[in-house]
């Protein structure tokens, strides 16, 4: 059975949690493949709200297998906290969760480095989540990282921590002028995590191979979004991983040819947390209005999200690099009250119209959006349960997006609850 991938097609926070939750109903195995505790996937079940940071959203369904893949960076403190949180809410996490022994571990020195680096950048800071994501991936690619499987090898683990601390402390002392970290600060808590986690840690590659061979339905759960991809996003204002389709294979061990369906998730408008260009960003007052209606505050950091109109240029980049086979549009209901809804169809730069997203961040910053203004529908869509019952202008809006990005919209979400979602055509 081919796997399905859900990928963010903007700057993260597209409402992936909701779409993944819908598709999980038809899946057997859910796999996270990149990012770490910087993610925050919100799912509402009945009146209960769940926010998942590291654990795949499949945990909210009994009997599904959940995998934290090799491409994820795992902060054991956050993972244990999350496991306990969900256990406290009656979810049998440990029977349903597997963690790749190849996944890299985030340590407190990564978080300190993340904070120190951001502070040093001053006005030019990226606006990271301070979860140590960038420094953990830097160590991975610098070949000095420590993997989840290493936590169980006492002697080797101590040596690896020692070597890392030597280097990090030199940076803290000499360059960032912040407190150093002691070996005990790390070893104490990290020794205690292993007994908690060892039952979950395994080689997830054969697990996923066997699941696919047995015809199980595998769902890959992307975090962040395409425009935050370290290559395809607005570098350097990006995260440190590959949220994109290519990253799904590298971060899970599932071969690319096993991934057939690629669902891109977009919000009906655009948001972004942290610094970096957002070409369709609204002026402060208008942004505040939409932010309040859309409850646009970060699920991990609580920071207010920046808000803009739908940007077809940015989403077309996501279509291209992910090979999206369909698109889910979320939060359409947030636009219900508007007289007209602008959509960015191209960028203008020095009198020229650009239809492709520019690679250089300076160029993106210098572009002005070219808008098409679509008529609003001025009626509530929250209660609509069939595509045919949507107001004509709301259908027109979705159809316009579809034409602009060249991919079929298959799902429209009109509220945070599980049932506030419609399959297009139904
Ligand atoms: P980092 O991933 O913490 O290094 O942050 C890098 C950039 O990605 C910052 O602009 C963050 O705000 C952004 N970011 C990271 N994770 C998420 C997410 O899950 N949703 C939205 N933005 C994110």
CATH (one of 1.10.287.3510, 1.50.10.10, 3.40.30.10, 1.10.300.10) for 104-196: 1.10.300.10
Q: Please give the CATH topology (third level) of the domain spanning 265-423.
A: Adenylosuccinate Synthetase; Chain A, domain 3 (3.90.170)
Instruction: Identify the pLDDT of residue 303.
Output: 87
Q: Where are the domains of the chain?
A: 3-100+201-263, 104-196, 265-423
| pLDDT tens digits, one per residue of 122-160 | 999 999 999 999 999 999 999 999 999 999 999 999 999
CB 73 within 8 A of CB 136: yes
As a whole number of angstroms, the distance between CA 279 and CA 364 comes to 7
Q: Is the CB of 12 under 6 A from ligand 1?
A: yes
Q: Is the CB of 133 under 6 A from ligand 1?
A: yes
Instruction: Identify the pLDDT of residue 258.
Output: 97
| pLDDT tens digits, one per residue of 73-122 | 999 999 999 999 999 999 989 889 999 999 999 999 999 999 999 999 99
| pLDDT tens digits, one per residue of 7-47 | 999 999 999 999 999 999 999 999 999 999 999 989 988 89
Same fold, 3-100+201-263 and 104-196: no
For ligand 1, pick from 140, 224, 237, 361 the residue to mutate: most ligand atoms within 8 Å of CB. Answer: 224
CATH node for 3-100+201-263: 3.40.440.10
Say if residue 282's pLDDT is above 90.
yes
Q: Is 304 helix (H, G, I), strand (E, B) or coil?
A: strand
Paired with 48 in beta bridges are: 45
Residues in the chain: 426
Q: Is the CB of 274 under 6 A from ligand 1?
A: yes
Q: Is the CB of 13 under 6 A from ligand 1?
A: yes
Grade residue 297 by pLDDT with cuts at 50, 70 and 90.
Answer: very high
CB 390 within 8 A of CB 409: no
Cβ-based neighbours of 347, under 8 Å, separated by 6 or more: 279, 313, 353, 354, 358, 364, 367, 368, 369, 370
CB 172 within 8 A of CB 179: yes
Instruction: Identify the pLDDT of residue 301.
Output: 81
Ligand 1 centroid distance, CA of 38 (Å): 6
* Residue with CA nearest ligand 1 atom 20: 12
| pLDDT tens digits, one per residue of 386-426 | 999 999 999 999 999 999 999 999 999 999 999 999 999 86
Instruction: Identify the pLDDT of residue 175.
Output: 98
Sheet holding 326-330, edge to edge: 201-202, 97-100, 65-68, 29-32, 218-221, 3-8, 259-267, 326-330, 409-413, 421-423
Instruction: Identify the pLDDT of residue 365.
Output: 97
């Amino acid at each position: 059975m081919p796997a399905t991938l859900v990928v963010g097609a903007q700057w993260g926070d597209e409402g992936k949690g909701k779409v993944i939750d819908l598709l999980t109903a038809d899946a057997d195995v859910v796999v996270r493949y990149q990012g770490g505790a910087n993610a925050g996937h919100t799912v509402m079940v009945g009146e209960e709200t769940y926010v998942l940071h590291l654990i795949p959203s499949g945990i909210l369904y009994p009997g599904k297998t959940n995998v934290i893949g090799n491409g994820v960076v795992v902060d054991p403190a956050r993972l244990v906290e999350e496991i306990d949180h969900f256990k406290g809410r009656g979810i049998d996490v440990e029977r349903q969760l597997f963690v790749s022994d190849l996944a890299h571990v985030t340590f407190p020195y990564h978080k300190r480095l993340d904070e120190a680096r951001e502070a040093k950048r001053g006005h030019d800071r990226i606006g990271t989540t301070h979860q140590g994501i960038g420094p953990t991936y830097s160590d991975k690619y610098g070949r000095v990282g420590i993997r989840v499987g290493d936590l169980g090898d006492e002697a080797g683990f101590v040596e690896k921590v020692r070597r890392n601390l030597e280097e990090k402390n030199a940076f803290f002392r000499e360059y960032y002028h912040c407190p150093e970290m002691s070996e005990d600060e790390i070893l104490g808590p990290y020794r205690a995590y292993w007994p908690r986690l060892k039952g979950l840690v395994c080689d997830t590659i054969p697990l996923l191979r066997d699941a696919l061979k047995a015809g199980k339905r595998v769902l890959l759960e992307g975090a962040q979004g395409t425009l935050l991809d370290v290559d395809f996003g607005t570098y350097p204002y990006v995260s440190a991983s590959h949220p994109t389709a290519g990253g799904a294979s590298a971060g899970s061990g599932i071969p690319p040819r096993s991934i057939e369906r690629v669902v891109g998730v977009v919000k009906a408008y655009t948001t972004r947390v942290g610094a970096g260009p957002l070409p369709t960003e609204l002026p402060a007052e208008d942004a505040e209005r939409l932010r309040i209606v859309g409850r646009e505050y970060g699920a991990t950091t609580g920071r207010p999200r920046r808000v803009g109109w739908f940007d077809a240029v940015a989403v077309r980049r996501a279509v291209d690099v992910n090979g999206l086979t369909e698109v889910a549009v979320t939060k359409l209901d947030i636009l219900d009250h508007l007289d007209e809804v602008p959509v960015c169809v191209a960028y203008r730069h020095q009198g020229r119209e650009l239809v492709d997203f520019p690679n250089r961040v300076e160029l993106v910053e210098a572009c002005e959006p070219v808008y098409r203004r679509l008529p609003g529908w001025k009626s509530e869509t929250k209660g609509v349960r069939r595509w045919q019952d949507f107001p004509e202008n709301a259908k027109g809006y979705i159809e316009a997006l579809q034409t602009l990005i060249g991919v079929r919209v298959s799902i429209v979400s009109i509220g945070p609850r599980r049932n506030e979602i419609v399959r297009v055509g139904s």
